[in-house]
């Protein structure tokens, strides 16, 4: 009887409940070697490669691209080949599956049969697999570009291509060793030279005449608020008729929904708002850089807001360093990378670090470790619109600063009034861990620092 193994999806992050399939590197019937890339998965934090835990034949795959797989459920099934390299018994890579999670709301047919929690017969128990940096003997394998279908690209680039509707096999690669880069994908998406499903130019030309003779599709009828009898038309409930279809949240946006709901249920938020007068600023001041500096000054003045709070144990941790989570808005959802050691960076260092984090977020190459561990947060939503806000404090942090859109206002001065530019500030804090006085002093420290010329 052949020896089979059911591979359960390991925890790809810090307790992430699920992940989304980006692209399989194999298909059913293929033979795969130990530690070769099995699939690229998108989590709330990154696109990572899942290596094969065994060498052998692929018997079953859990779903297709875009399907959500719950951590601890079947990802793939293999028929182990004893003549190929296998991981030694007892060799653990350090990642574990944890307890089972609830099944996804709309599972794909391919994953309707969940693997048993324990091994039976000739089936081996799954010992866990490290993803992204897999411990293999004494070597650590980090994420790298892998050739799938003759195209060499990083998992994040493949995810970007899928999102933009770009066929990687038709993209001109400019990266090292013929690797397709994110810039190559963006360029192809912009000029439309590699759309998914579009035929090559040579194949399109002979059919041009036939296409021209085909009748044009009938135009969709114009919407009207009146019925054919001229009476107002009643709108049916969404359950009766709907033009749009429910869309399952995935990846970053899925995690954002969970995190916001968790924060709403745990934190006791209170928000203070005021304006910072920046009339004295000299030319060349970086708004984000100045906001970061002001937060650092305020954290040193009132350490209680640069802290973590454990509501279950009722413990507070004050941090000597200031690591600021910078909110970055993307089409996929909200990212909050950490600006590490902001208290020792100068203005140039802050700008360079923020630019680096933004680029890594945009091309989805940011390490998962850079999306956790910050001690306080900053949202500069004013670069778009809005004056004041009630930003959400995400545990274990206890405070978040939000900066609105700058404006000019009339300010009383000696002998009359002047037009001064101000930045609206909103500070939300967890009232379980901070007092109103501490929050007010924190906000005043920020305002005083922002009032300085440079």
Q: What is the predicted pLDDT for the residue at 233?
A: 56
pTM of the complete model: 0.63
**pLDDT tens figures, 161-190:** 877 888 888 888 887 777 788 788 888 888
Q: What is the predicted pLDDT for the residue at 65?
A: 86
Using the predicted structure, report yes or no on whether residue 424 has a pLDDT greater than 50.
yes
Write a three-state SS string for the chain.
CCCEEEEECCCCCCCCCEEEEEEECCCCCCEECCCCEEEEEECCCCEEEEECCCCEEEEEECCCCCCEEECCCEEEEEEECCCCCCCCCCCCCCCCCCCCCCCCCCCCHHHCCCCCCCCCCCCECCCCCCCCEEEECCEEEECCCEEECCEEECHHHHHHHHHHCECHHHCCCCCHHHEECHHHHHHHHHHCCCECCCCCHHHHHHHHHHHHHCCCCCCCCCCCCECCCCCECCCCCCCCCCCCCCCCCCHHHHHHHHHHHHHHHHCCEEEEEEEEECCCCCCCCCHHHHHHHHHHHHHHHCHHHCEEEECCCCEEEECCCCCEEECEEECCEEECCEECCHHHCCHHHHHHHHHHHHHHHHCCCCCHHHHCCCCEEEECHHHCCCCCCCCCCCCCECEEEEECCCEEEEEEECCEEEEEEEEEEEEEEECCCCCHHHHHHHHHHHHHHHCCCC
Q: What is the predicted pLDDT for the residue at 304?
A: 97
Lowest mean pLDDT among 4-8, 49-53, 365-369, 392-396: 365-369
Lowest mean pLDDT among 89-98, 123-132, 269-278: 123-132
**pLDDT tens figures, 329-352:** 888 788 899 999 999 999 999 999
Report which listed range, 79-88, 126-135, 222-231, 417-426, is most confident.
Answer: 417-426
Using the predicted structure, report yes or no on whether residue 294 has a pLDDT greater than 90.
yes
**Using 50, 70 and 90 to split pLDDT, how confident is the model at 310?**
very high
Using the predicted structure, report yes or no on whether residue 382 has a pLDDT greater than 80.
yes
């Amino acid at each position: 009887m052949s020896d089979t193994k059911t591979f359960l999806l390991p925890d790809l992050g810090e307790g992430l409940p699920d992940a989304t399939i980006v692209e399989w590197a194999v298909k059913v019937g293929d033979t795969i070697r130990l530690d070769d890339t099995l699939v690229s998965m998108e989590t709330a934090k990154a696109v990572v490669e899942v290596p094969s835990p065994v060498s052998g034949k692929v018997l079953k795959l859990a779903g297709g691209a875009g399907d959500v797989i719950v951590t601890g459920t079947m990802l793939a099934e293999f028929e182990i080949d004893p003549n190929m390299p296998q991981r030694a018994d007892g060799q653990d890579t350090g990642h574990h599956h944890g307890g089972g999670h609830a099944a996804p709301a709309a599972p794909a047919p391919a994953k309707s049969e969940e693997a048993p929690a324990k091994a039976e017969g000739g089936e081996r128990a799954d010992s866990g697999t490290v993803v992204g940096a897999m411990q293999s003997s004494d070597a650590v394998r980090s994420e790298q570009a892998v050739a799938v279908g003759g195209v060499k690209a990083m998992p994040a680039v493949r995810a970007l291509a899928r999102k933009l509707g770009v066929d990687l096999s038709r993209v001109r690669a400019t990266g090292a060793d013929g690797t397709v880069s994110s810039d190559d994908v963006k360029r192809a998406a912009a000029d439309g030279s590699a759309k998914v499903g579009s035929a090559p130019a040579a194949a399109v030309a002979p059919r041009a005449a036939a296409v021209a003779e085909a009748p044009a599709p009938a135009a969709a009828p114009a919407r009207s608020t009146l019925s054919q009898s001229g009476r107002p038309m009643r709108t049916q409930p969404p359950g009766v008729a709907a033009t749009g279809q429910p869309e399952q949240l995935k990846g970053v946006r899925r995690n954002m929904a969970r995190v916001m709901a968790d924060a709403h249920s745990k934190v006791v938020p209170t928000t203070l708002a005021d304006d910072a007068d920046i009339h004295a600023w000299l030319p060349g001041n970086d708004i984000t850089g100045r906001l970061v500096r002001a937060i650092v000054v305020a954290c040193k003045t009132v350490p209680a807001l640069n802290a973590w709070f454990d509501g279950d144990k009722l413990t507070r941790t004050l941090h000597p360093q200031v690591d600021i989570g910078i909110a970055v808005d993307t089409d996929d959802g909200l990212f909050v990378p950490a600006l590490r050691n902001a208290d020792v960076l100068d203005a140039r260092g802050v700008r360079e670090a923020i630019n680096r984090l933004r680029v890594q977020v945009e091309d989805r190459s940011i390490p998962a470790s850079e999306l956790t561990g910050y001690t306080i947060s900053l949202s500069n939503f004013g670069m778009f619109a809005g004056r004041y806000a009630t930003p959400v404090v995400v545990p274990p942090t206890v405070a978040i600063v939000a900066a609105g859109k700058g404006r000019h206002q009339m300010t009383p001065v000696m002998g009359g009034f002047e037009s001064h530019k101000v930045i609206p500030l909103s500070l939300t804090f967890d009232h379980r861990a901070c007092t109103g006085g501490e929050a007010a002093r924190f906000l005043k420290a920020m305002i005083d620092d922002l009032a300085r010329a440079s």
